[in-house]
Amino acid sequence: MGSKIAELLNKTATKIILAIVLGFIAGALALAVAGYDPGTSYSMMFTSIFSSPQNMIQVLILTMPNILTGLSVAFAFKTGLFNIGGEGQYIVGAIAAVMVGGVLNLPPVINVIVIVLVAFVAAGLYGALAGFLKAKFGIHEVITTIMLNWIALYLNNYLVSLPGIGVKNTEYSFPIKQSAWTNVLNGWKTSPHGQAYLSTHPALSTILLGTDINYGIIIAIVVAIAVSFLLYRTTFGYQIRAVGLNKDAAEAAGIRVKKSIVMTMFIAGGLSGLAGALQMTGTLPHALVTLANQPGYGFNGITVALMANSSPIGCIFTALLLSALQFGGSTIQMNLGAPSEVVNIMIGVIVFFVAVASMFTMISERIKRRRVKIAG
């Protein structure tokens, strides 16, 4: 009995599930202390998601950027880097997408591909800058990426404030041209034929016209599979994992460590940038907005990656969980008046307990040792 518990406690999956459970317990405590019934709140968070197809789609729309920023953080983790610059890279990706997509007018699919590639490269370079500063000067990437987050935010605001880019008397920039939108049935649903059809099919209409339903989530899942392949099946993946696990040994074996760091941060940045770009092409207002605070997807990526133990495929599911939580959090604010920030506390506690996962290992060892002593 004891040994089984000990073994179970030592499994990564168990540790992460326990961390999530503890996060929920902490959230319940916070709610209870603040005078809200945790049971009601949690069940509302859960049921609200399934209360309508729109809500479910809303969660999926939220999931897309979280998968990609999660992949961004997870990928950097594999080289031993902590990319908390997802926020800034997301913004740079969005900026690049809007700057290109607002001007360029190529055939629909090609247009999207070009925009996405440009955004990937722009955000990739932004990420690579942090990688370069780490490789060349040894400056901790956590500090540089945080600084770059704020720089990107103010760059965004500066651009929106410029006459040629911002729309006068609004907080928006010019939008991406419709040919580059990634919404489902984008052209059809606004065509006369489509509108006529939708007016007689209200269920479909609420989904297609009432939400920003777009292809982003599918692209994100495909990217997750691609990242997994890159990491575990290719020489490049081998190389960056070797660097992440022991950079001294990798260096001695002839692997170019500094180049790996910069390359990894390029890809990590690109993945976050992809989130920003697909958000611009997929959701209203398809334009940059003046930001008072960080968009939050980059930080979400940290939680997603940690909960997934940096597994790219795992990121798909943990991003879904996180998005559901955040969506649910907003509903309890609306309906119960309970602060939605309870979700932030839960996320923080989950990350905290993922960090102290060794706690569970230590408990497991203690159980085992007691057994050995009894047996010995």
Partner 1 sequence: MQSQQAYAVEMQSIYKYFDDFCALNAVNLKVKKGSIHALLGENGAGKTTLMNVLYGLYKADSGRILINGEQVEMKNPNVAIEHKIGMVHQHFKLVENFTVVQNIMLGKEVSKAGFVLDISRARKQVVELSKTYGLTVDPDAKIEDISVGMQQRVEILKALYRGVEILILDEPTAVLTPQEINELVNIMRNLTEGGKTIIIITHKLKEIKKSSEYCTIIRRGKYIDTVDVKNVTEQQLASMMVGREVNLVVAKTKTNPGDVVFRIDNLTVEDSRKIERVKELSLSVRKGEIVGIAGIDGNGQKELVEAITCLTKVKAGRISINGVDLQNTSPHNVIKNGITTIHEDRHKRGLVLDFPVKYNLILENYNRPRFAGHAILHEQAIHKFAQDSISRYDIRPENCASELARALSGGNQQKVIIARELSDNPELLLAFQPTRGLDVGAIEFIHSALIKHRDSGHSILLISFELDEIMNVSDRICVLYDGRIVAEFQQGEVDENGIGLLMAGGERKNGI
Partner 2 sequence: MLVSILLAVSITLMYSAPLMFAGLGGVISENAGVVNIGIEGMMTIGAFFGAAVGYFSGNPWLGFLAGGLSGGLLALAHAVASISFRADQTISGVALNFIGPGLALFLSRKLFAGSAMTKPVEHPIPTIFGSYAAKSSNVLIKAANIEMTVPIVFICAFVLWFVLYKTSWGLRIRSVGENPAAADTLGINVYRIKYLAVFVSGVLSGFGGATMTLAVMNYFTQSTISGQGFIALAAVIFGKWKPHGTMAACLLFGFAQALVVLLGGSNSKIQIPSSLLSMLPYVLTLISLVLFVRHSSAPKADGIPYVKGH
> 122: closest CA among 106, 98, 102, 139?
98
Phi and psi of 163, rounded to 5°? -60, -40
Using the minimum distance from each CB to partner 1, give the nearer residue, 57 or 242. 242
Contact of residue 238 among partner 2, partner 1, none (CB under 5-8 Å per partner type): partner 1
Phi and psi of 58, rounded to 5°? -55, -45
> 329: closest CA among 344, 318, 319?
344
The span from the CA of 356 to the CA of 126, in Å, is 31
Least gap, CB of 250 to partner 1 (angstroms): 7
* DSSP designation for 170: S
Contact of residue 140 among partner 2, partner 1, none (CB under 5-8 Å per partner type): partner 2
Q: Are 207 and 53 in contact (CB under 8 A)?
A: yes
Using the minimum distance from each CB to partner 1, give the nearer residue, 40 or 371. 371
Using the minimum distance from each CB to partner 1, give the nearer residue, 51 or 246. 246
Q: How many CB atoms lie within 10 A of CB 351?
A: 16
For 47, the token pair is 């049921």
The span from the CA of 58 to the CA of 194, in Å, is 22
Contact of residue 215 among partner 2, partner 1, none (CB under 5-8 Å per partner type): none
> 134: closest CA among 252, 310, 267, 259?
259
Contact of residue 168 among partner 2, partner 1, none (CB under 5-8 Å per partner type): none
Least gap, CB of 5 to partner 2 (angstroms): 19
Binding stretches for partner 1 (CB under 8 A): 233-236, 238-239, 241-242, 245-246, 248-256, 365, 368-369, 372-373, 376
The span from the CA of 208 to the CA of 202, in Å, is 10
Least gap, CB of 346 to partner 1 (angstroms): 30
Using the minimum distance from each CB to partner 1, give the nearer residue, 239 or 300. 239
Binding stretches for partner 2 (CB under 8 A): 30, 34-35, 82, 84, 133, 137-140, 142-144, 146-151, 154-155, 157-158, 161, 292-293, 299, 302-303, 306, 337, 339, 341-345, 347-349, 351-352, 354-359, 362
Least gap, CB of 6 to partner 1 (angstroms): 10
Using the minimum distance from each CB to partner 2, give the nearer residue, 66 or 149. 149
The span from the CA of 247 to the CA of 256, in Å, is 9
Using the minimum distance from each CB to partner 1, give the nearer residue, 10 or 179. 10
Q: Are 298 and 149 in contact (CB under 8 A)?
A: yes
Contact of residue 222 among partner 1, partner 2, none (CB under 5-8 Å per partner type): none
Least gap, CB of 318 to partner 2 (angstroms): 15
> Which DSSP string do the residues of 133-151 spell out, in sequence order?
HHHHH---HHHHHHHHHHH
